[in-house]
Structures are given as C-alpha cells and as structure tokens.
Amino acid sequence: MNTWIVTGGAGFIGCNFARLALARTDARIVVLDKLTYAGHMASLADVADHERFHFVKADIADREAVEQIFREHRPRALLNFAAETHVDRSIDGPAAFIETNLVGTFELLEAARRHVARMPEEERPGFRFLHVSTDEVYGSLGPTGAFSETTPYEPNSPYSASKAGADHLVRAYYATYGLPALVTNCSNNYGPYQYPEKLLPLMILNAAAGEPLPIYGDGGNVRDWLYVEDHCEGILLALERGAPGAKYNLGGGAERTNLEMVDALCAHLERALPAADNPALGRAGHTSYLALKTFVADRPGHDRRYAIDASKAQRDLGWKPRHDLDSGLETTVRWYLEHRDWCETVQADTYRRERLGLAASE
C-alpha cells in the first residue's frame, strides 16, 4: 500500500492534512507525533479508527525511533509538519526550537536518505520528502512587495531562524545527495484545530468569555491569511505535481493588519453570538466585543509585514485558495464556538503536563 509518514500530524496543520489525505487519496497515513503542548490526540479523534490511519508517538529528533518507523512502514513519501512554531515561546526558550526544527529535520533527512538507498532502484524516483515551512524565514517586508521563492532569507526570531536552517538542509540534501525533496512556505494559517494560544482562536475564545483581546503594539503588523484546508490542498498538489528540488510559496492573498483581523472577528462573533445574548460580556461590563480590545507592549523583533507571491504554485501546481477571508473567518468563528470542549481538553492537557513537569513524550 502507498504509505505516507506525516510528522507533526497531531498538530494544527498536520491534523488537517491527515484528514484531507484520508478523504482525497488512497494513501495509508502514518502520523508520527511527539504530542507536545500543541499536539493532541483529540485533534485526530474523528479519524483515529480509520482503516488507513496509524499513529506512532515519537520524537523526530530520536534517530533510532525514526529509523525504526521508516523500516517498518517503508513510506513512499514523508511530509514534515513537525515544528515548534510559537514565536513568543521561541524568545523565552529557543533550545526546543533548535532541537525539533533543525536537529529533527536533519534526522528525518538522514533516515529518508538511508530509506531511499534501500529501495529498489526503479522505485527511488517516486519517493518524496516534502518539508512544510513558513513565510517568516524571509524576514520583514516594507509597505510594498511580496515574498517570492527567490527572496533572500532574513529570519528575525529564534523560531524563524530554526525553520530557515531546516529549509537550507532540505535544499542541501537534494543538491548533494539527490534526495527527492521539496519545500513549501506558507503564510499565516487559520481554521479548525489550531492551538488556542494563537491569535485567532485566542481572540475568539477570549471574546466569548468576556476577557481582554490583547493586541501587540499598535496592531499595525500585516499578515497574509490562508485558510488551513486551502493550504493542505496546496501541499497535496505539491506532493503530487511538484518538482524535486523546488520550493513553492502558498499564500491566501488576504493581507490584513492584526487590528483589522480582530475587528473582523468581533463582527463575525456579533453575528454568531450577539453581544446582547452573551452574559459573560455583560458581567465584564461591556456591550460590545470591540470594547474588549487591549493594546499591550510589542514583542521583540516583531516583523512588520508579510505577503506571499503564490504565482508559481498557481502556475506550476494549478493551486489557488478556495476560501476568501470572510467565508473562512465565518467558518472558523463558528467552529471554535461549537468546539469549546476541544479547546478545554487540549488546554487542560497542556496545563497538566506543565504543572507536573512531564516530558513531552510522557
């Protein structure tokens, strides 16, 4: 059977991709995840019993574990979603980001190189190593322009620097060893199953609870927003049609300041859960979600603007986003309001681990 290893498949983008791959392909999906604070089996509950789904709890930086998984499952493809991703956490403690994002990618590349060497020669060209990265590796833009696949890397946080290093490793393994590898760089994702510390779920859940909506600096930082299912469809096309050694930028073509995004979320919340009908807002002494906006000190090295030029992916892969920002936000707001039990479950699990000092693999 055609088997794909999906690392980080219990995280936000990875679980959405695993779900899409099971629905759109005949591949057997082997999710490899360490189950850190942002990776939870609750994100895979609806596919856990699927006949083509298999889960392995392991660390991508664990050489022996990764080698065993390759030997046991003999994949035709590996898609690397596994990453520490929150910029604030990388500023507070960069070591985990270097270990997972850089060392972990190295171990995956080495295991893939050994795996391809063991494959029959005629099957080797069909193997793919697809590394999922971010637009943050390119640094910060001025008021105009957009990141293309040839934009020089200028990462400004420990998180983006660790992802940039991983991207370079993937490119080097293609150039040096001929490993059939490619890279995708995406803009800010949003949608279901995102860990609640991220901007959109945090704002939705805080607003519903009548709690402050913290906005960094003046709220003028610009991001390009991409609905997660659209991103996953782009990755699937890159896997099927992308050229080894290539990289593809995947963006939503929806630039907004953080302040504009919060205002848009408040408008959607008003339609889904009117402020007049929300007792939590009344208890906080407010009659409008907009009144919850609170400006806080900016974080160090906060990139001002990102924007993606996705024309190469549109031309070479035939990909384009299917969701506009308004419809994507409407779906996202309703999903988090209807799945507050999922949010409570993953937050409680994270709290339990941090409180007890458990290792991520325990």
Tell me the per-residue pLDDT of 232-257, one tens digit each, with 9 for 90 and over.
Answer: 999 999 999 999 999 999 999 999 99
Q: Which of 12-21, 150-159, 351-360 has the lowest mean pLDDT?
A: 351-360
Please check whether residue 349 lies inside any domain of the structure.
no
Please check whether residue 219 lies inside any domain of the structure.
no
Please indicate whether residue 46 is annotated as part of the active site.
Answer: no
Name the H helices within 139-227.
158-177, 199-208
Please check whether residue 301 lies inside any domain of the structure.
no
As for how many domains the chain has, the answer is 1
- Residue 300's Cβ-count burial label (10 Å; 0-12, 13-18, 19+) is exposed
Tell me the per-residue pLDDT of 271-289, one tens digit each, with 9 for 90 and over.
Answer: 999 999 999 999 999 999 9
The closest of 350, 348, 340 to 35, measured between CA atoms, is 350
Please check whether residue 22 lies inside any domain of the structure.
yes
Please check whether residue 212 lies inside any domain of the structure.
no
The residues facing 31 across adjacent strands are 6, 55
Please indicate whether residue 174 is annotated as part of the active site.
Answer: no
Instruction: Choose, from 33, 84, 107, 136, the residue flagged as catalytic.
Output: 136
Per-residue pLDDT at 357 exceeds 80 = no
Amino acid at 86: H
Provide the residue range defining the domain that includes 182.
Answer: 3-190+227-252+306-322
Please check whether residue 245 lies inside any domain of the structure.
yes
Please check whether residue 16 lies inside any domain of the structure.
yes
Instruction: Choose, from 37, 159, 190, 195, the residue flagged as catalytic.
Output: 159
- Do 183 and 171 form a contact (C-beta atoms < 8 A)? yes
Amino acid at 164: A
Amino acid at 211: E
Please report the pLDDT score of residue 258 as a whole number.
97
Please report the pLDDT score of residue 1 as a whole number.
77
DSSP letter, residue 126: G
Please check whether residue 46 lies inside any domain of the structure.
yes
Please report the pLDDT score of residue 358 as a whole number.
42
Q: What's the CATH number where 124 sits? A: 3.40.50.720
Tell me the per-residue pLDDT of 179-229, one tens digit each, with 9 for 90 and over.
Answer: 999 999 999 999 999 998 889 999 999 999 999 999 999 999 999 999 999
Please report the pLDDT score of residue 354 as a whole number.
58
Please report the pLDDT score of residue 352 as a whole number.
62
Instruction: Choose, from 33, 59, 107, 135, the residue flagged as catalytic.
Output: 135
Please indicate whether residue 177 is annotated as part of the active site.
Answer: no
